[in-house]
Every structure is written in structure tokens, then in C-alpha cells.
Amino acid sequence: MADPDIYHQLRRRHGLSRRDFLVATAVAAGMPAAVASAQSKSPRPGGTFISAKTTEAPSLEPNLEQALSRHRIDPLFYNRLVEWSAEGKLEPSLAQSWTTSADGKTWTFKLRQGVKFHNGREFVADDVKYTYERVLDPKLGSGGRGYLAAIEQIEVADKHTVRISTKQPSASLLAGMAGNWSSIVPREVADLRRTAVGTGPFVLQEWIPQSHLKARKNPDYWDKGRPYVDAVEIKIIPDEGNIIAQLRTGNIHHALLEDNKNYLLVKDDKRLIALRSPRLGFDMVNVNHGRKPFTDVRVRQALALAVDRTEILQAAASGLGSVTGPLTPAMKPWALPVETFKEWYTPNPDRAKKLLTEAGFPNGFKTTLKVIPTFPTMVAGAQVIAAQLKKIGVDAQIIQEEYGVWIKVITKPTFDFDLTMNITNGDADPDSLLYRRFHSVEKQWNNDGDPDIDALLDQGKLTVDQAKRKDVYDKVQRLMVDRAIQIWTFAPDMIDVTQNYVHYPQHFTTNYYGFRTVWLER
Amino acid sequence: MRRYVVVRIVSVLPTLLGVSFAVFLMVRLIPGTVVDQIIGTEGTYSAETVRSLRAFFGLDAPLHVQYGRWLWSALHGDLGTSWRTGLPVLQMILARLQVTAELTLGAMVVAMLIGVPLGILSARRENTALDHLVRVTSLFSLSIPVFWQATMLILAGSLWLNWAPPVDFVSPLAHPARNFGIMALPSLVLGTAAAAVFMRMTRSSLLEVMGQDFVRTARAKGLSERSVVWGHAFKNSLIPLITIAGIQVGYLLGGAVVTEEVFTLPGVGRLLLGAVVQRDYPLVQGTILFIAALFMLSNLAVDLLYAVIDPRIRRG
């Protein structure tokens, strides 16, 4: 991954400018981790690392809190059985190894030994059983239930072995265990909303909501030598302009930008490093399949042909991102390159008009496009999209809805919208991403349901063989774009801004903070 | 005088009751509840889970029952428990009150220190170039939104002075100097808009008084212009100014919501904003009721001040 160390070395060796480096970084995102780490200096331990962000979740509850802003800080305090690496691969964490039975329905996990929770108690197999049953309990309403839904039974074979049986072979079980709701918690701590008791690298010291969160290094962390910094502080600064000011004046070490346009304010500042890397999350336009005229595939295709995604990316995120299909470029190895979709991704107003005429709308039609005013990329994107649709006679009136109102009206069972801008944090696994949003039994976003797509999504869930699974999801991606299930627009870059003496090597496509390996040069 | 005070205090109560009802109803009229917030757009929830969550928050009871429960507790001094943090609402408000009070007070001081002298200056130099300049500037400062001005000042400070307002609040009692560094810019930003109001009010009020008979008499007696203005006219132009000050407390409390957000001050305003977004009904209701009570108290104080300043009210 892109690493500040590479920047320092390139600058010394080749006299590269900062700007050159930043351009190179987008490419370097695909660089093997080994290259980056080989070039690293040895980390200097110590110091307090200070980061800032605009929002925080109302609670820290790792299994139940829905808010996306909670996911990002989870890895500070908790571990999962398996975890996504910064490069998007599944790696052993609290599980050291695992085997599957011949029929693919029984998984046996050997757990890491000698791991302690922050309260001093040893981590054992029963904690896994407790945690997963907690996530699966319908009364508790965890958003992670869907991720672990394949699980039928959890058995504690011995103190350090867990056996999990599934109803059917499940290709995404490991991804579910690495998912945002699967952090392992101790049975004896019932309320984890305002405290954090995990096995992770940092121990929560103090959390003052809407002000700051302080954590110190866990001296008993099982991954010896880590973390490098003695303490971490996360400040909540609601205005990103103020965060930029705090970066410029050296009051904080790091921020992950929420509004990529602010990159323009820091990119030429010598004291700061801004690193762009791909992320799983993306922007899109949801289309309500339950409403006319969007029931007609030709109408949806016409919309898809009318929009110019590069222009949207430019307007909404200053070009800092990449155009995406149903699986974002960060979802390696699953994502098809966007060139695959060029038939539908090259703006073609003439063909769009022809499709509209065939569908019975030679003069276009009036419709609405909803946005949440506090989401800057949605607002800017919607204006461009409305202007583009006008070219084929579709008059989309932009309607602003406050976040809480928007959630209420666009979701199941209300589905009170024609078109709406939407944003997701995405998912590293294609089944986790697609099934619950596009399968007709779930109907999350577009009020849709296509039997061919359903069949492929069912097949993908059961196909454990990676090559065959890839084949299934290749078909899904093509079919979804061909049938214009929705309009995928772009995946914004993840932009971490740090002081130039901060080494921040891990940039998780999942948006997680890479604080486990961060270190300060001074 | 005593009767006047008692009547004013008693008249606050029905207003507060009205506010409590309006707030209760309004937060429930906004679509979306705390349950929708918890579920979000991407969760997989059964109808049964949704029902049990609604019951947990008491949202399944009829509105009048919900209101009755809340009012009854509020009358006993219990504003309820925040749905999202699990902390008592009153405790959350009181913990943040100091910050908002300091900001409001600071802004008021800024507004008066800038607004009143400029108003006097403008009135004394009526229809001169200076008067026009002051009036145009005040209109300009009234028209700039607080949030924009705040962000621009922060960014400009970081760019040209390499300085940004600290974001870790410290109490003025613990570290007066550091506290001043934190509160100066927000007070200035919030205060300048109000200063324009004070300036315009001082100007028109003083001009009106200056045109009255007793001022002419004072001049005819041969008093110097200085003692005419300061000894006779200014004190008599204070009543409308005090009224404005009372009303401005309300605007400043409202403006504090935005200012606290931009400057990261842990005050009541930010608490309210977060609560509205999260649909944390008890916290929204409690905070608004509290702010309304503060506003009424400040107006009550203004009314009582009239009595001190104006003998006609005191004796009438």
C-alpha cells in the first residue's frame, strides 16, 4: 500500500515533487504490501497520536450499534476471528487456523491462545459462541445478523476450539466473521455502549461524547510489539474546515477526510501528507422499480445512458475517486474493470432517447430526485445528474430531505421516492454487499427483484470454490448493469491527511483506522 | 413593585407549558423515529424487532399518554433519560450549560462594546459619510451567515497566522487565559451580528430622544453638548436597548447552536443539534424546554430592569 516512507524515499532518490507522488499514489495503491514494508524504516515507539473526525456514533457497542462511524474505530479495541487486511484480504486474527468438513457445512476454528480481554480475563471459545449468538438474537436487532445468518449451531469443542455448522455451504461465512458487527466480546460485560472491553491493541481510557475519546496502548496485546504509539486520541470536530485548520497548525496528526474537496486545501501544504487510496464505499442513484415508469427496463437503461459518470465524479468529488460498477475497484479480486461496461457507461443521449421513445416517452417525463443536504457529494452530484437527464427530456426535480426523514421515506416498506442519491460504505465480500441489497427477498435499496439476478446471488452464496464464485459474480455485475438495476456512479478516494512526520502505512479499504501500526517520527 | 414582579413570574408558567406541548408535538411531527435511526438503511430487521424496539422506547403508546408521562416526570424535575446515551437529560444539559452561558455572555459583551458606541457615533454624526459607512457595515455584518464567517475566520487564521482556535474546552475558572483563547473568536463571530442590531437600535433610539422637548430645554439652558447627550439623552434611550438585549439573548442562544458546532464547543447548542439528528426525543424536548426557560428568564430580568430604570413602571 501507499506509504509515507515511500514518499520520503522517492523524494530523496528521484527528486519527485509532492504532486508527482500523489499522482503515483493512486497507482501505488495496488503495490504489494511487502514492497512497502521492505522500504520502511524501523518504527519509533511512543507518543500520543491525535486524530480528528466530524461525527461519532451514539454508542461504542461493537455488535449492535448501527452507525457507520462506529465501524471505523472498532479495530482499536476489538478483534474478530478473521479480519480484513488493509489490502482487502482475509487474515487469521483471533482464529489461528481453520478447517472445513468435506460437505463444506462444518467449520472448525483453532483459536489463538494466551489472548486477554482488557479486563484481564483470558479469551476462550465460549466468548465466540456468546458473541455470535448475541449478533444472531433477533430481539437485539444487530445489523450484523444477515452476515452470520448461515450459522446453524455453534459448539465449544474445547477451551480453544470452536465448531460452527451451517445449513448449507457458505462462501461468505469468513467475510461475515470479519464483518462490521462480529467483534468478539466477553460474556461478563453486558453493556458495551459506553465502554469497550475487547482484545484489541488499545484500552479505552475516557470517552466524552461529542468531544473526544482517549485510549492507551494495551500492554498485553497479543500481536507483540504493536501498537507503536503509547496512546491515541480522537477528537470530534464537527466542521471539517476547522479540522483542516487544526492540521495546518499542527494541533492534530491525522484526519480521514469526509469531504474530498477539502483535499484541495491541503495538497500543497509542505507540512502535510495527503494520501489517496481506493475505498469500498461508493455513491449511486437508487431507482424505485415499484414505480412507473421505472418498472420498464428501457427507461432505466435510458437514464443509465444519459448520465456522464466522469462529470459527476468531477463535480461531486473534484475528480478524486474512480467511476465504478456494481463492485468497486477496491473489491479486488471481484470487481470487473469499468471498461467492461462501456456500452452503458459511455454517455449516449441519442440511444437513450430512442429507448425512451420505445418505452412510450418520446418527450421524456417529470420525476423527482432526493438528496440529503448535509451530504456534500449527494448535493453536487444530484445537480449534475438532473442537468444530464434534462438532455433526454427527463425533468428531475431535486428534493432535499433531512437525513432522518430520508431514511424513513426511502426504505422498506415505504419506498416513497422515484430516484434518490445514496451512499454506502460498501463491503469487501460480494455476497455481503449484493445479497441484502439486491435479492428480491431483501429489497433494500431499489424496491427491485429480478429472478435471474436472484438465481445468481443464490448461487454465489453457496459456491465456495473461488474461481467458480468469481465467474458467478462476473455474470451478476454484467447483468446488473445491462438491466440498469440502479445507476452506479463513483467510488470516492479515501484521503488520509497526516503531518509529514507521521508514518501511517495501513489504509483500509473498509474505512477502518490503521492506528495499530501508526508511528511518529518525532 | 412586588405585585408587578409576582405577575411577571406567574405569567411564565403557562408559556412554558405551551412550549412543552409545542416541542413535544413538533419533534413527533418530523418523520422518522429513533427506531428508524437505529435501523438505518442497510440493516436486516424483522417487523418483530421493529415492534419491540418501538415498545422499548414507549413509542407504541398514544400521543397524549406519552405527553402525560413526560410532563408528569418533568414537573417532578425529571426531564427523562437520553435514548441514545442512557444518561439523565438534565445532567447532560447542566454539564454543558456553562459553555453556552459563557458564549452567550461573551457575544453579548462584544455586541454591546461594538454596537452601542458605534450607534452613538452614528447618531451624533447623522447623515454624514461616517454615519453611512457605519450603517452599511452593520448591514453587511448582519447579512453574513454566522457559520460561513466562522469557517472563513478559522481557515484564514490557520493559513496566515498559523493559528487555529483550540478545540479542547477548558473552564474559565481552571485556566482563564486558555479559556479566553478558546472563547474569543466564537464570541466575536456570534457577537458581531448582534452588534449590528445594537448599533441600529442605539442610533434610532438616541436620535428619537435627541428630538424631544426636554433635550431642547437642556440645550436652551446652555448645557454643553456632552452633558446633553450623556446626562439627559443617553439614559432615556436605554429602555429600547434593554428590550433588544433581552430578545438578543434568544437569538444568541439560537446562534450558539451553529457557533458551537463550527468551533467544537461542548455546549447545549451542539447537544440539541445532535439530539435532533438522532431523534432523541427526551433530549430534544428537555433541551428546548431548558433554552425556552432561559429565554423567558432573561426577558423577565429585562422587565424587572425596566422597573429599576424607569420610575413610571416602578410606581405604576
pLDDT in tens, chain B (316 residues): 677 778 888 888 898 899 999 989 988 888 778 777 777 665 556 677 777 778 878 888 888 998 998 888 888 888 888 887 778 999 989 988 889 999 999 999 999 999 999 999 999 888 899 999 988 988 888 888 888 888 888 998 888 888 888 888 888 888 898 899 889 999 999 998 889 889 999 999 999 998 889 889 988 988 888 888 888 888 888 888 888 888 888 888 888 888 988 888 888 988 888 888 778 889 999 999 888 888 888 888 888 887 777 777 666 5
End-to-end CA distance of chain A: 23
E strands along A340-483, which residues?
Answer: 366-371, 395-400, 419-424
Q: Rounded to a whole number, what is the distance in Å from the CA of A459 to chain B's nearest CA?
A: 20
- What's the confidence (pLDDT) of residue B162? 86
Question: How many angstroms separate the Cα of A113 from the Cα of each of A85, A132, A220, A508?
Answer: 21, 19, 13, 26
d(Cα A212, Cα B166) in Å, to the nearest integer? 13
Residue whose C-alpha cell reads 495499530 in the numeric block: A516
Extract the C-alpha cell encoding A293: 415508469
DSSP letter assigned to residue B232: I
pLDDT for the residue numbered A69? 82
Q: What pLDDT shows up at residue A389?
A: 96
Q: Please determine, for residue A10, whether its predicted confidence score (pLDDT) is greater than 70.
A: no
Q: What percent of chain A has pLDDT over 70?
A: 92
Please judge whether B162 and A248 are an interchain contact, meaning their C-beta atoms are less than 8 angstroms apart: yes
Mean pLDDT of A98-111: 95
Sign of CA dihedral A234, A235, A241, A245: negative
**Residue B252 C-alpha, separation from nearest chain A C-alpha, in angstroms:** 20
Residue B47 near chain A (CB below 8 Å) = no
**In chain B, which residues have their Cβ closer than 8 Å to the Cβ of A405?**
30-32
C-alpha cell at A128: 465466540
Identify any residues that bridge with A242 across adjacent strands, giving them in sequence order: none
Give helix A309-317 / helix A376-390 axis angle, nearest 10°. 150
Rounded CA-CA distance B30/B53 in Å is: 19
- Region A302-325 average pLDDT: 95
Query: Is the Cβ of A376 closer than 8 Å to some Cβ of chain B?
Result: no
Sheet holding A161-166, edge to edge: A95-100, A106-111, A161-166, A151-158
Nearest to B164 among A212, A246, A402 (CB): A246
Hey, how many other C-beta atoms are within 10 angstroms of the C-beta on A59?
21
- DSSP alpha helices (H): ranges in A371-446? 376-390, 403-410, 430-438
H-type helices in chain B, by residue range?
A: 2-29, 34-39, 47-56, 63-75, 89-124, 129-143, 146-156, 176-210, 213-220, 225-227, 234-236, 238-263, 268-278, 281-309, 311-315
Task: Name which of A58, A237, A242 is nearest B278 (Cβ-Cβ).
Answer: A58
Q: Which of residues 242-301 of A touch B (CB under 8 A)?
A: 242, 244-246, 248-249, 251, 265
Give the residue among B228, B247, B245, B239 at the shortest CA–CA distance from B314: B239
- Greatest mean pLDDT among A63-67, A443-447, A497-501, B255-259 lies in A497-501
Say if strands A419-424 and A366-371 run parallel, antiparallel, or are unpaired.
Answer: parallel
Mean residue pLDDT of chain A comes to: 89
A243-284 residue pLDDT tens: 999 999 999 999 999 888 899 999 999 999 999 999 899 999
Q: How far is B271 from chain A (nearest CA, A)?
A: 8
pLDDT at A12: 35
A422 neighbourhood in chain B, CB within 8 Å: 41
Closest approach of A237 to chain B, Cα-based (Å): 5
* Contact with chain B for residue A402, Cβ under 8 A: yes
- For A313, residues 6+ apart whose C-beta sits below 8 A from its C-beta are A319, A321, A322, A323, A489, A490
Lowest mean pLDDT among A126-140, A345-359, B257-271: B257-271
Rounded to whole angstroms, the Cα distance separating A281 from B206 reads 61
Dist. CA A521–CA A516, nearest whole Å: 16
- A246 → closest Cβ in B86, B150, B167: B167
Per-residue pLDDT, averaged over A83-104, amounts to 93
Cβ–Cβ under 8 Å, residues A468 and A318:
no
Name the band, by pLDDT with cuts 50, 70 and 90, for residue A407.
confident
Q: Which of A205, A186, A195, A232 is nearest to A94 (CA)?
A: A186
Q: Is A235 on the interface with B (CB under 8 A)?
A: yes
Q: Is A146 on the interface with B (CB under 8 A)?
A: yes
Would you call B41 an interface residue with chain A, using a CB distance cutoff of 8 Å?
yes
- Report the alpha-carbon distance of residue A314 to residue A260 in Å, rounded: 11
- Set of chain A residues whose Cβ sits within 8 Å of the Cβ of B261: 238-239
Distance separating alpha carbons of residues B103 and B167, to the nearest angstrom: 14
List beta partners, residue A236: A53
Q: Report how far apart the first and last C-alpha atoms of chain B are (Å, whole number).
A: 8
Q: Which residues, including other chains, have CB under 8 Å from residue B231's CB and lie 6 or more apart?
A: B218, B223
Closest CA to B288 of B56, B25, B106: B25
A167/B78 Cα distance (integer angstroms): 50
Residue A158 contacts residue A126 (beta carbons within 8 Å): no
Which comes out higher in pLDDT, residue B237 or A358?
A358
Considering only the C-alpha atoms of chain A, give the largest distance between any 2 of them, rounded to a whole number of Å: 71
β-pairing, A366-371 vs A395-400, is parallel
* Touching A: B residues 120-149, CB under 8 Å: 147
- CA-CA distance, A444 to A441, in Å (whole number)? 9
Q: Which of A61, A63, A147, A408 to mutate to test the interface with B (most CBs of B within 10 A)?
A: A408
Phi, psi of B290, deg, nearest 5: -65, -45
Distance CA B96, CA A254 (A): 27
User: Which of B43, B86, B163 faces A66 most closely, judged by CB atoms?
Assistant: B43
Joined together, the cell numbers standing for residue A82 give 478473521
The percentage of chain A sitting over the pLDDT mark of 90, rounded to a whole number, equals 72
Q: Which pLDDT score is estimated for A140? A: 82
Whether residues A239 and B262 touch (CB distance < 8 A) is answered with yes
Which of B49, B262, B270 lies at the smallest CB-CB distance from A210?
A: B270
Q: Chain A closest CA to B262's CA: distance in Å?
A: 5
Smallest CA–CA distance from A239 into chain B, residue: B262
DSSP-assigned beta bridge partners for residue A156: A162
Could you read off the pLDDT of A31-52 as tens digits, one per residue? 333 334 434 578 999 999 999 9
CA distance linking residue A200 with residue A463, whole number of Å? 32
Task: Please report residues of A whose CB lies closer than 8 A to that of B26.
Answer: none
